[in-house]
Amino acid sequence: MPYRVSLEISRRRETRQEGWERQQLPDELGDCLTDSFHIGPGISLLRTRYRPQQDLVEESLKQLEQPVLAITFGLVGESLFRSRYGTELHFQRGHTTVSTFRCIQGERHYRSDLVARQLRLLIGAEILSHYLGEKTCKLLLDGKGGVQLLAHRPTTGASLAHANALLKETENESLDKLQTHIHVLGLLAEQLRHLDLQLPKRMPRHCQRDIEKIDEARAILDARMDQGLTVSELAAAVGLNECKLRDGFRHRFNMSPHRLLLEARMKKAWQLLETGCQVAEAAYSVGYEHPSNFSAAFSRFFGCAPKSVFGPKR
């Protein structure tokens, strides 16, 4: 039977560097903590790390000043939140869970054989209304029972890169607030762009056969990102005209072929650099003839230079 952590069990709280606040369960329950940071009005960042000694069910109750959009990036392991009304939110490595809360009331479930690490952004209704408009904001936040699941999908390359950069920033002894804001807003913009796909829209203008060809074109882009494929070559490879291919990418992936190729290249380059790959080598591997052009594109995409991402040298 899992150990139930009631609301009455004392949590240790402490203020850490650069405004981070830590809340931690008693040591005998394991290494179970949440760090929170107030970015600005209506935006907070949370880092969660749970390594319990035994299976845990942690009761959770918090009244919110305003409805919030929660964007959770699963970094390691998995966990589950079950609301009082039965809504379940799953958090797992490599996936992004987007949800809304009017109040936080339910149970968090953790397994003793799994380390669970997550990065979570909380964005208030006022901020969302500013970016999305009042009508769309109301549609997003109009969940019943206090909790609403909007999306659970694999984390995109752009989101993963921003999350990794944000984690690296927050691990520094002296937090760079400018870079932190850049990556937080990048993550928010990426999710809002994808959430737009969840809103009511026109019926698809493509038949199933065209959709299959569009998906095939994306697979070709991913497999041949190191080659200088043009839209015309890609269209010819799958048997579509260029106009239909461009339109299909915007409908299917909410971006152009060029943007999707850029995202795939940047995601791959980040992974290579983290393993200790040199900048020039990473540039050639993802299709750039000149490392200087690659460095400029990388810096525009992520807001940081390729050299800042170096992992262990080989």
**Residue 275, Cβ neighbours under 10 Å: how many?**
12
**Residue 135, Cβ neighbours under 10 Å: how many?**
9
- Residues of the chain falling short of pLDDT 50: 197-203, 313-314
Level-2 CATH architecture, domain 3-198: Sandwich (2.60)
CA distances from 123 to 15, 44, 46, 129, 148 (A): 22, 7, 11, 10, 14
- Give the Cα separation of 190 and 162 in Å (integer): 10
**Residue 97, Cβ neighbours under 10 Å: how many?**
22
Q: What per-residue confidence (pLDDT) applies to 65?
A: 79
Q: Determine the 3-state secondary structure of 312 from DSSP.
A: coil
Q: If one looks up domain 208-309 in CATH, what number appears?
A: 1.10.10.60
- Give the Cα separation of 199 and 81 in Å (integer): 24
Token pair 């015309």 is at which residue?
232
Please check whether residue 108 is in contact with residue 78, taking contact to mean a CB–CB distance below 8 angstroms.
Answer: no
CA distances from 288 to 156, 264, 294 (A): 22, 13, 6
pLDDT, tens only, 145-155: 578 888 888 88
Q: What per-residue confidence (pLDDT) applies to 79?
A: 94
**pTM to 2 decimals?**
0.63
Where does 143-290 have alpha helices with state H?
A: 157-170, 177-195, 208-223, 231-238, 242-253, 257-274, 279-285
Please check whether residue 102 is in contact with residue 143, taking contact to mean a CB–CB distance below 8 angstroms.
Answer: yes
Task: For the chain, report the end-to-end CA distance as a whole number of angstroms.
Answer: 46
Ranges of CATH 2.60.120.10 domains, the chain? 3-198
Q: What per-residue confidence (pLDDT) applies to 311?
A: 61
